């Protein structure tokens, strides 16, 4: 039974702030590596073929997703059986950091397989660390406060992404291009743009950032008590517990329906995030500097949306917040893929000068406005999808269900990148490849409509 403090919260305000800091730790990895900078660099420069590059990125994410999908429920059940989550968080944080440092090898013409392996290691480490950190939320915050704290966490994470992108922009991309008192004359640490060191360094930066800013959670947030089981006993108990949960699936049918719903809509939303930056970079021929600015723009609106989503979640509930934000995000995505370098809304041609500067043409400006609105809706989607599970899963089985939650995020997440890769290669069109996300989000919204926002009871 979790002890409650005098203010009605299971943990102190300091502990809750330290938990929020974990979002500050993980988000720069997604912004710098998987969305805005490294992914476009890999596809456009290292592979030097946007269509083939998007396909390779899809296959890489698919492999990582399969590993996470197969392992996360069992690891979650093992952690619940053993008790503490922090040892798991330490291991997977270190694993992610190692994978991030491996991205330094991504020079043009380098073998692709080692780069893919580093991306897979980093992704697996990051996702598993997130599973165990997420599972701490219901044990440190009251049910009244978890929606707000989750929204604040996502918002703070987006602010971290903005800060990281600003650092990369000022210290690595703008030197030698823009002259200002606060911009160095050359990239810091003697990094070479010609050797693409300023592009490759975002991997190690993300790894160090994650490692350092996870320390407050590890040092301050209270952990579950150890239940006296050895690793082998915890593995056996976890396997038994997971099997018991599966056989009693009907008891958790409401939670199961939500997880299946999330499996669909998260897959679609995640694919838009991952491949949207690649689409922008290749459509408008944006380099690292332009992609950093694009990332700042999108991340600002995602942060704003997360803070607003935390408030709406607390006021109106997780389900209503999710339904509205998903529907509006879907509409904005359909508008987003209607833009080309010289076309808007699929059919309207726009004259564009051959020497037009970045962000100066109507298609680019409308693309930015649309991605801003999409990000505004994505913020509350991310925050409330986590809060929804924290509201409806049994507290005693929270890590196991967050393992299943990750499974629901990964079981088909490897399918969407795989389908995008296959359809992109088959059609020769990035936009056609991306349309596979539309039915996924629609299906997720339909199933979510039947989910009840009520907590399930644990089973003996």
Residue 2's pLDDT is what? 46
Task: Give the DSSP H or E segment for 200.
Answer: helix 197-200
**d(C-alpha 297, C-alpha 293), whole Å:** 6
Length of the chain (residues): 460
Residue 201's pLDDT is what? 94
Of the candidates 27, 28, 11, which has an alpha carbon nearest to the alpha carbon of residue 19? 11
Task: Give the DSSP H or E segment for 348.
Answer: strand 348-349
Residue 294: exposed, middle, or buried by beta-carbon count in 10 A (0-12, 13-18, 19+)? buried
Residues near 62 by Cβ (< 8 Å), separated by ≥ 6?
414, 415, 417, 418, 421
CA dist 434 to 23, 103, 302, 364, 417, Å? 28, 26, 21, 19, 9
Structure tokens belonging to residue 266: 């998260």
Give ∠ CA 127-197-183 in degrees, rounded to 5: 100
Residue 249: exposed, middle, or buried by beta-carbon count in 10 A (0-12, 13-18, 19+)? exposed
Residue 150's pLDDT is what? 72
Residue 167 and residue 201 in contact, taking contact as beta carbons nearer than 8 Å: no
What is the per-residue pLDDT across 68-81, written as a single tens digit (0 to 9) for each?
777 766 676 666 65
Of the candidates 248, 243, 255, which has an alpha carbon nearest to the alpha carbon of residue 459? 248
**d(C-alpha 212, C-alpha 22), whole Å:** 10
What is the per-residue pLDDT across 374-420, written as a single tens digit (0 to 9) for each?
989 988 887 788 778 777 877 666 656 666 665 555 555 566 777 77
**d(C-alpha 407, C-alpha 70), whole Å:** 7
pLDDT tens, position by position, for the chain (460 residues)?
A: 445 554 556 668 898 899 989 989 998 998 899 877 898 888 878 988 877 887 788 788 778 878 877 776 667 666 665 567 888 899 999 999 999 999 999 999 889 999 999 999 999 999 889 888 877 877 787 766 776 777 788 778 878 988 898 888 889 888 877 777 778 888 888 899 889 999 999 999 999 999 999 999 999 988 776 665 555 665 566 566 556 665 665 567 887 788 888 888 887 887 787 777 777 887 788 877 788 788 888 888 887 887 787 778 777 888 888 999 999 999 999 998 888 777 878 778 777 777 777 777 888 888 889 999 998 998 888 778 877 877 787 766 665 666 666 555 555 556 677 777 777 777 777 777 787 888 888 998 999 999 887 776 656 5
């Amino acid at each position: 039974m979790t002890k409650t403090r005098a203010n009605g919260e299971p943990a102190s305000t300091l502990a809750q702030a330290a938990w929020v800091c974990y979002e500050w730790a993980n988000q720069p990895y997604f912004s710098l590596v998987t969305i805005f900078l490294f992914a476009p660099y890999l596809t456009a420069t290292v592979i030097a073929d946007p269509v083939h590059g998007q396909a390779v990125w899809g296959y890489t994410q698919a492999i990582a997703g399969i590993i996470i999908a197969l392992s996360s429920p069992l690891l979650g059940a093992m952690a619940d059986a053993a008790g503490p989550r922090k040892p798991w968080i330490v291991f997977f944080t270190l694993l992610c950091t190692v994978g991030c440092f491996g991205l330094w090898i991504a020079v043009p013409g380098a073998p692709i397989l080692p780069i893919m392996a580093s991306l897979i290691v980093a992704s697996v480490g990051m996702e598993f660390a997130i599973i165990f950190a997420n599972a701490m939320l219901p044990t440190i915050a009251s049910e009244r406060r978890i929606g707000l704290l989750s929204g604040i966490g996502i918002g703070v994470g987006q602010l971290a992404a903005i800060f990281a992108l600003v650092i990369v922009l000022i210290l690595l991309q703008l030197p030698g291009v823009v002259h200002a008192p606060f911009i160095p004359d050359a990239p810091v640490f003697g990094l070479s743009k010609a050797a693409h060191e300023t592009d490759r360094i975002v991997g190690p930066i993300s790894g160090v950032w994650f490692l350092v800013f996870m320390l407050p959670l590890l040092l301050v947030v209270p952990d579950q008590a150890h239940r006296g089981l050895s690793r082998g006993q915890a593995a056996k108990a976890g396997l038994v517990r997971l099997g018991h949960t599966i056989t009693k699936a009907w008891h958790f049918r409401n939670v199961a329906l939500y997880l299946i719903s999330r499996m669909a809509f998260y897959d679609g939303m995640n694919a838009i995030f991952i491949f949207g930056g690649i689409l922008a970079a290749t459509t408008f021929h944006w380099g690292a500097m332009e992609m950093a600015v694009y990332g700042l723009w999108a991340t600002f609106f995602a942060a704003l949306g997360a803070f607003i989503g935390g408030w709406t979640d607390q006021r109106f509930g997780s389900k209503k917040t999710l339904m509205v934000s998903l529907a509006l995000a879907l509409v904005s995505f359909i508008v987003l893929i209607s833009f080309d370098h010289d076309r808007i809304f699929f059919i309207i041609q726009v004259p564009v000068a051959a020497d037009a500067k970045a962000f100066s043409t109507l298609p680019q400006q409308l693309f930015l406005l649309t991605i801003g609105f999409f990000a505004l809706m994505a913020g509350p989607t991310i925050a409330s999808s986590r809060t929804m599970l924290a509201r409806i899963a049994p507290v005693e089985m929270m890590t196991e269900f967050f393992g299943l939650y990750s499974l629901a995020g990964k079981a088909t997440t490897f399918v969407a990148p795989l389908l995008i890769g296959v359809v992109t290669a088959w059609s020769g069109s990035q936009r056609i490849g991306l349309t596979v996300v539309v039915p996924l989000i629609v299906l997720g919204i339909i199933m979510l409509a039947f989910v009840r926002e009520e907590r399930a009871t644990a089973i003996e």
